[in-house]
Amino acid sequence: DTGVSQNPRHKITKRGQNVTFRCDPISEHNRLYWYRQTLGQGPEFLTYFQNEAQLEKSRLLSDRFSAERPKGSFSTLEIQRTEQGDSAMYLCASSPPGGNSPLHFGNGTRLTVT
Amino acid sequence: QKEVEQDPGPLSVPEGAIVSLNCTYSNSAFQYFMWYRQYSRKGPELLMYTYSSGNKEDGRFTAQVDKSSKYISLFIRDSQPSDSATYLCAMSASSGNNDMRFGAGTRLTVKP
């Protein structure tokens, strides 16, 4: 169990640029989640995959955000035309099949939009 | 009103003290309750996971859930400087956790 891996750890970009983050879940976990966390707040749900299917998207996930999980393994989160309000920690989590399993988080990608 | 309320602190205690961290919630459908510890610039790390009401103990940590009062607690005994972190409560109604809601986190400092 190597844990949930996220890359890059930090990303600084200029407003209007596109950015893409990657998440590699724990290998036997079929459920994958993206959260966003701003300073002094708890994580907020963005979207959820079971295998390759994106089953739920939060209203926080505007049209500029898109997430994919091809082949049900790693996932990517892309933000197009970044805005300063997108600056946050983007967390990925995974959990194994079946119920009653808590989320295991990666160390996140910290995005700064200047 | 937020679904999950947590006192943000900060909370500062001397080494060896008993720490009590609390959350209240409004959604009576919540039945899975978690506590996460988050160090600066790291992701949340699962500490305790409980289902429905009752107590659960793991080493120096005890989690309590009172569904009738919509109130959960985490107790840390013999607190150590290494316990200094932000503690997040989380809860969900479904076992799939796609409806999980987090508190804002309580920042704890344990002074040697």
Render A16-39 in DSSP notation, one character per residue.
Answer: T--EEEEEE--TT--EEEEEEE-T
pLDDT in tens, A52-89: 999 988 888 889 999 999 988 999 999 999 999 999 99
Among B4, B49, B100, beta carbon nearest to A45: B100
How many other β-carbons are positioned within 10 Å of the β-carbon of residue A35?
26
**E strand map for B1-112:** 4-6, 11-14, 19-25, 32-38, 45-51, 54-58, 61-66, 71-76, 85-92, 101-102, 106-111
Residue B82, judged by CB atoms within 10 A of its CB (0-12, 13-18, 19+), counts as exposed
Whole-number CA gyration radius for chain B: 13
Residue B25 has pLDDT above 60, yes or no: yes
- Pairwise CA distance, residues B44 & A85, whole Å: 22
Cβ pair B43:A55 closer than 8 A: no
Cβ pair A107:B43 closer than 8 A: yes
Residue B110 has pLDDT above 90, yes or no: yes
Q: Taking CB atoms and an 8 Å cutoff, what residues of chain A touch B45? A: 105
| Residue B53 exposure: Cα atoms within 13 Å on the Cβ side | 8
Mean pLDDT of chain B: 93
Q: Taking CB atoms and an 8 Å cutoff, what residues of chain A touch B94? A: 99
Cβ pair A42:B103 closer than 8 A: yes
pLDDT in tens, B39-71: 998 999 999 999 888 899 999 999 999 999 999
Q: What is the pLDDT of residue A99?
A: 67
Q: What is the pLDDT of residue A2?
A: 75
